[in-house]
Structure 1
Amino acid sequence: MAASEVLAQAAQKTSQVSTYTVDAVVNAAHPQEGDGRVQGRMLYQSKPDLAVDLTLDTVGMGGRSLPGGARAVLQGDNVYVKVQALNDLVGATKPWIKVSLSEVGDSAQVNQYLSQIQQFDLANVTKLVTASQDVQSVGNESVNGEDTTHYSGSFPVDAAVQQLPADKQEQARTNLAQVKDDVKFDVWVAADGLPRKLAMSGGKEGATLDATLFFKGYNEPVNIAAPPADQVGDLPRNGTTN
């Protein structure tokens, strides 16, 4: 198949994947804001119910870091967030904060961590690369012990974002805000037509962004559980805690 057909097929296949694990590193550099880095992993499950477990070991920007990292568990209609700095900010008394998805828009802090989920999302990032008009195969390589075919190309940000569902486009534009025109990418696809590694990079006016994601555990069982009830409080309102 032509390289563009391989990407289209990969996008179709990833939409049918029910579980996977991704390890990711996202690096950013900005002339005014300094360097930033997000590193972590995510477990994903779409069936029988959508559930996501995101662990961010490193979250930093401009010399400021998030002590202890961050954790977010999305399950059903709720998201559970564990970030000590957020607890200190809002005055929470328990390790985890529970927020209904219908209320997430009211909490910029919680929404910030949910946006990381989209950056790690297999279906979204695979759809982005299908906008490429210049992708080509550059050889066969091993990724974590698996044989893959390496494809390289670029895609225009605006055209790529339009490949996403309407409700995902605004956040994707925000995630790619440090890229002016085209994003360069490399993707490694295994014999089953699913990606094992994806790297993207781009820049704008001296700012740069690059991300590397490793995917594994397709359709293998994952264990995503809500934190114990006695460790969970609701997002405090008007200075009160639960």
Structure 2
Amino acid sequence: MRMSRPLVLAASTALLVLPLSACGGDEQDPAKALRDAVSAVSGKGSAELVMETRDPEDGTSTREGKFSWKPGSRGADVVMQTADSKDFEQLAGSDGKARLLSGKDFFYVELDSPLNGRKWLDLSGDSGSEQDTTPDNGPETAIAALATADDLKKAGTEKVNGQDTDHYTGTVDVAELAETKLQGVSGNSRDEYAENLRNQGLKKVRIEVWIGDDGLAVRTVESGRTAKGAYRETVDIKSYGDGFTVDRPPASEVATLEEFVRSLQ
């Protein structure tokens, strides 16, 4: 869900995409239920969630926290953990986790061991690292993409995270998606979403969405095969919001990447 993979960002290469739909939609027409969901969710600007990404190149990572895709306040404040990156271990605490802050033009990692009293590492200039973690699209983009799947179906009703949900599934061809008009979604958002999938190495993506009684997604899954193996991203959504602003840490608490690298020598 794509992008360069700098040394200290091996666990932060996934973009947020949160598909959702509408519970209780017309079971004979799942596409209509999804199109209705696009309209319903367009007013949402952020979510608190837990995301697990299984990538054949980067390994397995989890992120838990808040993501905002609202125009003018896109950003993320999350705690990340990865079991497969030795590079990330240099940043993570004893529990294997590190807090990340990102915004339109900045990206910071909280160091487990402060560097000369400064606990934040500034990675804002690293090969687009802030773009790698700041959401480009809201949930309506993936939902609209799922609505175009030729094999779209309602797979059933299930209880997920304590909620009754409707489960929708479908497979989307990424090249065709880039040329398809998505109802309720701008061309720019569609292009960004398709580009994210291509950057992951996906030619086809299977999208699954579980929708609660309030019409919002409780869980989403995107999966597919790349040239290097299987990719899968599972998102459990705790709550939605109207967007938020991620503030930069105080300059007195920030160390540069150059200073961090020197400290390792």
Amino acid at match of 2:61: V
Count of residue pairs the alignment pairs up: 221
| Match among 41, 48, 54 for residue 64 of structure 2 | 41
Give the match's secondary structure for 2:240: coil
Of 47, 55, 73 in structure 2, the residue corresponding to residue 20 of structure 1 is: 47
Aligned to 1:57: 80
Partner of 1:94: 118
1:197 Cα deviation (Å)?
Answer: 0.7
Q: Deviations over 1:182-206 (max 9, x none)?
A: 2222210123322111112111345
Name the counterpart of 2:196.
172
Q: How far apart in 1 are the matches of 2:233 and 2:155?
A: 20
Q: 1:155 aligned to 2:172?
A: yes
CA distance in structure 2 between the partners assigned to 1:133 and 1:52 by the alignment = 33
Aligned partners of 1:199 and 1:212 also within 8 Å: yes
Instruction: Summarize the Cα distance change of 1:146–1:172 in structure 2 as closer, same or farther, 3 Å threshold.
Output: same
1:217 paired to 2:239: yes
Deviations 1:130-166 (A, max 9, x none): 3312211122112222221111221112233555626
Deviations 1:21-60 (A, max 9, x none): 121101022xxx5x61121124134669515334242235
What is the letter of the counterpart of residue 118 of structure 2?
K
> Match for residue 81 of structure 1?
108
SS at structure 1 position matched to 2:129: helix
What is the RMSD of the two structures over their aligned residues, measured on CA atoms? 3.8
Change (3 A) 1:192 1:176: same
3-state SS of paired residue (1:133): coil
Question: Which whole-Å CA distance do the structure 1 matches of 2:111 and 2:248 have between them?
Answer: 18
Higher RCO (C-alpha under 8 Å, 6+ residues apart): 2
User: Tell me, what secondary structure is at the counterpart of 2:215?
Assistant: coil
Change in 2 beyond 3 A, CA 1:72/1:126: farther
Matched-pair identity in %: 19
Name the SS of the counterpart of 2:38 in structure 1.
helix
Question: Residues 175 and 122 from structure 1, CA distance in 2 versus in 1: closer, same or farther, beyond 3 angstroms?
Answer: farther
Letter in 2 for 1:189: I
**2 CA distance for matches of 1:206 and 1:45?**
30
Residues 146 and 137 of structure 1: is their aligned pair in 2 closer, same or farther, counting only changes over 3 Å? same
TM-score normalised per structure 1: 0.71
Q: CA deviation at 1:66?
A: 0.9
Question: Paired residue for 1:199?
Answer: 221
Preserved contact between residue 154 and residue 168 of structure 2 (Cα < 8 Å): yes
2:172/2:205 contact within 8 Å kept: yes
Structure-1 residue corresponding to 2:37: 10
Counterpart Cα distance in 2 of 1:174 and 1:127: 18
- The CA distance in 1 between the partners of 2:230 and 2:197, in whole Å, is 15
Give the 3 Å change call, closer, same or farther, for CA 55–154 of structure 1 in structure 2: same
Cα 1:44–1:215, aligned 2, differ >3 Å: closer, same or farther? same
CA distance in 1, matches of 2:245, 2:44: 16
The 8 Å contact of residues 73 and 244 in structure 2, kept in 1 or not, is answered as no
Q: Tell me if structure 2 keeps the 8 A contact 1:70–1:81.
A: no
- Structure 2 segments unaligned to the other structure (5+ residues): 1-25
Decide whether aligned partners of structure 1 residues 189 and 171 sit closer, same or farther in structure 2, where only a CA change above 3 A counts. same
Question: Structure 1 or 2: larger strand share?
Answer: 1
Q: Counterpart of 1:71?
A: 99
Question: Relative to 1, partners in 2 of residues 1:8 and 1:66: Cα closer, same or farther, differing over 3 Å?
Answer: same
